[in-house]
Amino acid sequence: MTSSITIAHLSDLHLSALHKRSHIRRTRRALDHLNALGVDHVVITGDITADGTPEDYRVARSVLASAGLLASPRLTVAIGNHDVFGGVHTAEDVLSFPGRCARTDDKAKLKEFGAAFQETFQGTLMPAEKRIFPFAKIIGGVALIAVNTVAPYSRVKNPLGSNGSVDDRSFEMLRDILADPVIRTRRKIIALHHHFHKMRETREGTVHSVWGAIERQTMKLRGKSRLLKLFAQHQVDLVLHGHIHRSAEYLRDGVRFLNAGGSVLHEADPDLHINLIRCTASGCTTEIHRIPFENLPARISTSLVHSEASLTAGHAAA
Ligand SMILES: [Fe+2]
Ligand SMILES: [Fe+2]
């Protein structure tokens, strides 16, 4: 690697044509900011839309296009559970949502996601089998590897669509990608949606509560151990994710993780957060930028931005 590469990491934008239009404003502000910073590449790790409808994708495409990001060299995306199964927005949704999840054709939704962001998949490297995920993308000396962690619907294992898993075929393909000589010689960054937090760390004081129990059963990634082992074995530099709406950096089994779930929808903080990753031949450094949001004019002054010196573990759901 001859020069450094700067990557901005966001997640869980939950862009919608029908609900919470503030998410659009907040995302535009974040993207304006990172364009002002002049980052080389942007990674969004899923839940880009609230419900994965054609209208939601039109909104998402418009927001990304206006920031000049609808191009493979500029943007890498991973899919999240909301892009496949959608979410709950009204009291009526609470009752109908499990049925909606059961009726969802996850393979069709994956294709819709691929079509919605097709420009960003151009020129990606992937094993012979024609699938959208996993894939690798070379950005200078960095290999970005995107993985689909959205588990199919299961009445027992995934009744609300929010649990994650990586199927055996995808795992084998991921293993092949990481072993490829083109990838092996570069800094390796994985992009996926589901988190690797230990769930007892995700809600202080509610570990034994009913909500804590529900959260642990409906927000988890199955098969974390074999993924952790694979990442460690191939000396993956960083794993980027979202799903839990917090911003945090943490270690699991020697593997470094960055959560951007709080980039625009931080559960406990109205400010915006962008994870910045700078990679050189010797390694990658990370930083979480906080952007005060409330009542600011349309354009952000970079002087308002400061980095968080200490990165804390995440504590919120989605
Ligand atoms: Fe999610
Ligand atoms: Fe989310």
Mean pLDDT across the stretch 202-229? 72
CA of 2 to the centre of ligand 1 (A): 36
Does residue 126 register a pLDDT over 80? Answer: no
Rounded to the nearest angstrom, the distance between the alpha carbon of 185 and the centre of ligand 1 is 32
Among the ranges given (28-32, 161-165, 211-215, 220-224), the one the predictor scored with the smallest mean pLDDT: 211-215
- The per-residue pLDDT for 315 is 33
Distance in Å, CA 1 to ligand 1 centroid? 34
- Whether the pLDDT of residue 128 is over 70: the answer is no
pLDDT above 90: percentage of residues in the chain: 68
Cα–ligand 2 centroid distance for 113 (angstroms): 16
Q: How far is the CA of 79 from the centre of ligand 1 (A)?
A: 9
| 215 vs 209: CA distance, rounded Å | 10
pLDDT at 298 over 50: no
Whether the Cβ atoms of residue 117 and residue 49 lie closer than 8 Å to each other? no
Q: Ligand 1 centre from 150 Cα, in Å?
A: 9
Distance from Cα 48 to the centre of ligand 2, integer Å: 8
Using one digit for the tens of pLDDT, what is the confidence trace for 42-54?
A: 999 999 999 999 9
84-103 pLDDT, tens digit per residue, is 999 888 888 888 888 998 99
pLDDT of residue 312: 30
Task: Indicate the CATH number for domain 5-307.
Answer: 3.60.21.10
11 alpha carbon, closest ligand: 2
Specify the higher pLDDT residue, 175 or 88. Answer: 175
Highest mean pLDDT among 126-135, 148-157, 208-217: 148-157
Q: What is the pTM of this model?
A: 0.89
The whole-chain average pLDDT of the chain stands at: 86
Domain residue ranges in the chain: 5-307
Share of the chain above pLDDT 70, in %: 85
